[in-house]
Amino acid sequence: MDTTLVDEIPDVSYLEIFNLKTNTGSTHATGNELYIGKLGYISPIQQYLFDTFKENDIPTGDVSVLPGRAFGYPDVNIKNGERWGTYQAFIKPILHREKLTISLFSDVVKIYLNNKSNTRAIGVTYRKHGVNYFVSAKKEIILSAGVVDSPKLLLLSGIGPKNHLESVGIKPLVYLPVGKSYFSQPYLGLKFQINESLSILSNRDLTDHAFLKYYANRKGSFSTPFTRFAIGFNSETKSTKTNSRNIYYAFDGVGGDVSDSHALFSKDTNFKPGIYEKYYKPLANKDGFLVELGCIDVKSSGVIRLVTNNPQDPPLIDPNFFSIPTDMDCLIDGIVYIVDLIENSKAMQEIDAHLSRIAFPGCENLKFKSRSYWEGYIRQLSGSPDSSISSCRMGDGSENSKTTAVLDPLFRDLGVQGLRVIDASSMPLIATGTPMAMTIMMGEIGSELILDKWEREGKSGTKNSSTFIN
């Protein structure tokens, strides 16, 4: 199976139990582990939005099939009103296996390499309830700690850029560009107001009665994340004339609900003092909806670095947003498009849908809704939607990838035998939308690669000299 990741992953459909009907040539499968179902609650705002799409001849349906600009209904990993994630789909059914050990409340703090050549991973130390434990590895160590913690652990173990490791007091053992080429998709939210009681307000709608309804039949607003009612993609904007999708949209049926506690709100968002009172508090308990959008094909890349050599300290995460100007242009174009679509459609004006007319603090002196206003808005309000990749980048063996690659196409560390990184940090290219499905598929393909390797070596009589730690 010595092929590239792209060769190994044509689609993710064979993992699915698909429970939705589509009329757009669905590529989904049925009867497998990962349940994909329909929303348990549909916001009444959805009908107005889809009437808007129809009014403007915008394709709707299964956005995983429709090309270019298109909008549709969210596919959700929810079964009987409850989240059906990777634990329920893949781990829970095999908890009985004798060879599977799961250690809760445990943090791996270091990967150990053999003392002679530092070319093979031989074990890990993990910390549980204040006590360190060492586990040796006979075959392979599989690192799946995510986009932030996978590079952090490699760096703590002496695998990474030489100068950086020395700067935090760690002896460099293997020189690789760990933490470089880190990509994250900038996104933000736009708050629209309406004149009808159609959205979800916590004080009005998330009541004891609503919870009892959910508890009884797993229906209602508690059964749907963020009361999301639509998603979509845009492919052609003012700055980018292309058929490649470059803007992602999500529509949430939540009104102007924010915490009554300024301290809690500021802590959660890391906003400067005064933002809450000036911009969010006037919207509290008012009906509306949220449009979230993000730039997909970002060009700006950042880094993940250690601040200290203490495993308990968080790393520095710098996405370096908008260092390439086209990323800013892309996001501004996405905002201008969706605001114009909503505010100028007959359907949405039936409920007086309009962008909040409060200027964001710090942008009051800029012309409202101008490109300069939106740039100021974006620079203050944008963040990362947990759609980050590439901090332990996979290479293809070419000359161009040598300066950025940490892994080979089979997820193997380029400088250490018996060590693989299988998670979104290895993904070399950004997925259209969130990388969740691709990450699950990489886990599936990685498992097949591991099993195939040791099955072949077992048949050939090769002595096992390296570990797979569950």
Question: What was the pLDDT predicted at 33?
Answer: 79
Which of 46-55, 141-150, 282-291 has the weakest average pLDDT? 282-291
Helical (H) or strand (E) element with 184: strand 183-184
Do strands 70-72 and 228-234 pair parallel, antiparallel, or not at all (unpaired)? Answer: antiparallel
Q: Regarding predicted confidence, which is higher, 352 or 216?
A: 352
CA 371 to chain centre: 27
How many whole angstroms separate alpha carbon 257 and alpha carbon 255?
Answer: 6
Instruction: Say if CB 394 and CB 411 are below 8 A apart.
Output: yes
> Predicted confidence band at 119 (pLDDT cuts at 50, 70, 90)?
confident
Helical (H) or strand (E) element with 153: helix 146-156
- How many CB atoms are closer than 10 A to CB 371? 16
Instruction: Say if CB 107 and CB 311 are below 8 A apart.
Output: yes
pTM, two decimals, is 0.87
User: Which residues does residue 121 pair with via DSSP β-bridges, in sequence order?
Assistant: 113
Question: What was the pLDDT predicted at 166?
Answer: 97
What mean pLDDT is predicted for residues 158-162? 96
pLDDT at 59 over 50: yes
What is the DSSP secondary-structure string of 233-290?
EE-B-SS-B-SS--EEEEEE-B-S---S-HHHHHHHH-PPTTHIIIIIGGGTT--EEE
Helical (H) or strand (E) element with 124: strand 121-128
What mean pLDDT is predicted for residues 173-177? 95
371: which 2 tokens? 């490109």
Question: What was the pLDDT predicted at 424?
Answer: 94
Question: What was the pLDDT predicted at 147?
Answer: 95
What mean pLDDT is predicted for residues 347-355? 96
Do strands 82-83 and 78-79 pair parallel, antiparallel, or not at all (unpaired)? Answer: antiparallel
Q: Regarding predicted confidence, which is higher, 15 or 339?
A: 339
What mean pLDDT is predicted for residues 82-96? 90
How many whole angstroms separate alpha carbon 106 and alpha carbon 91?
Answer: 17
> Predicted confidence band at 37 (pLDDT cuts at 50, 70, 90)?
confident
Question: What was the pLDDT predicted at 386?
Answer: 74
167: which 2 tokens? 């700067």
- How many CB atoms are closer than 10 A to CB 295? 29
To the nearest whole number, what is the mean pLDDT of the chain? Answer: 85
How many whole angstroms separate alpha carbon 264 and alpha carbon 293?
Answer: 25
Question: What was the pLDDT predicted at 431?
Answer: 74
Place of tokens 């008012």: 286
Phi and psi angles of residue 440, each rounded to the nearest 5 degrees, phi first:
-65, -40
> Which amino acid, 386?
D
- Of 467, 440, 438, the closest CA to residue 453 belongs to 467
> Predicted confidence band at 29 (pLDDT cuts at 50, 70, 90)?
low
What mean pLDDT is predicted for residues 171-191? 93
Question: What was the pLDDT predicted at 377?
Answer: 95
- How many CB atoms are closer than 10 A to CB 291? 23
Do strands 106-113 and 121-128 pair parallel, antiparallel, or not at all (unpaired)? Answer: antiparallel
Contacts of residue 80, Cβ cutoff 8 Å, sequence gap at least 6: 218
- How many CB atoms are closer than 10 A to CB 93? 11
307: which 2 tokens? 């601040």
Question: What was the pLDDT predicted at 243?
Answer: 54
> Predicted confidence band at 242 (pLDDT cuts at 50, 70, 90)?
low
Question: What was the pLDDT predicted at 22?
Answer: 47
Provide the 3-class DSSP secondary structure of residue 459. helix
Instruction: Say if CB 252 and CB 385 are below 8 A apart.
Output: no
How many whole angstroms separate alpha carbon 425 and alpha carbon 368?
Answer: 39
Q: Spell 193-222 as b/e; 16+ CB within 10 A means b.
A: bbeeebbbbeeebbeeebeebbeeeeebbb
pLDDT at 260 over 50: no
pLDDT at 447 over 60: yes
| pLDDT per residue as tens digits for the range 396-418 | 877 778 789 999 999 999 999 99
> Predicted confidence band at 464 (pLDDT cuts at 50, 70, 90)?
very low
Q: Is 287 buried (19+), middle (13-18) or exposed (0-12) by CB count in 10 A?
A: buried
What is the percentage of the chain residues whose pLDDT exceeds 90? Answer: 54
What mean pLDDT is predicted for residues 276-282? 84
